[in-house]
Structure 1
């Protein structure tokens, strides 16, 4: 993975972390869904092996602990979710704007369908 590719991946992970954390806080997604989308040991290991930024790794690792926090310290869950999204925002603010040049995720669902209008 090139340095530019890693920069794009890190920014994408931070953006997704914000959305997932806010959605969890508002009850729009479950912790199980958050784990499937982003906060999994597999995601952490892949990013670690790619030598991702320590802030991004910390966000993902902390996200893998949400189920334990919800079960053992439920009063701390909202604070932890706020911390995750705040960390992701701080990470994004510390980075220069880059051209993400990513394939459009929705193409997986829509393919090459023509848009009317």
Structure 2
């Protein structure tokens, strides 16, 4: 198993990294490159939400991730709304990322743990 460490110096960097990941996951879903189940394993799950909340991540980003956890329900109950939901998550992520444009990554974010 490969183990990597995400290392950010502050919450602004972590939030920016999360938003970049959300946008990538949504784009991959739109292009049918990932399944909803895969995105749940990566980010869109209650465990990750609880972990991020304990780290002080903003309520706006937690809400975006929460929307991602609802995608499976949308597919099963209102499949015609999936693209709209994906677009909403992507839009909200971009808005939040724009608000964090001034925050710059100070160091390498991914490190190997052996």
TM-score above 0.5, yes or no = yes
- Secondary structure, aligned partner of 1:102: coil
Equivalent residue, structure 1, for 2:110: 104
Note the C-alpha offset of 1:102.
3.4
Note the C-alpha offset of 1:94.
0.7
Q: Deviations over 1:7-50 (max 9, x none)?
A: 11111110000000111111110001000111011111111111
TM-score (norm 2): 0.84
Question: Counterparts of 1:25-104 in structure 2 under 5 Å?
Answer: 25-95=30-100, 96-104=102-110
Tell which deviates more after alignment, 9-18 or 46-55: 46-55
CA contact (8 A) 2:68 2:89 kept: yes
CA distance in 1, matches of 2:12, 2:64: 16
RMSD between aligned residues: 2.0
Give ranges in structure 1 of 5+ residues lacking alignment.
112-117
CA distance in 2, matches of 1:29, 1:67: 13
Give the number of equivalent residue pairs.
106
TM-score (norm 1): 0.82
CA distance in 2, matches of 1:44, 1:52: 9
CA distance in 1, matches of 2:42, 2:78: 23
Where relative contact order (Cα < 8 A, 6+ residues apart) is larger, the structure is 2
| Structure with the higher fraction of residues in strand conformation | 2
- Secondary structure, aligned partner of 2:53: helix
Question: Counterparts of 1:13-32 in structure 2 under 5 Å?
Answer: 13-32=18-37
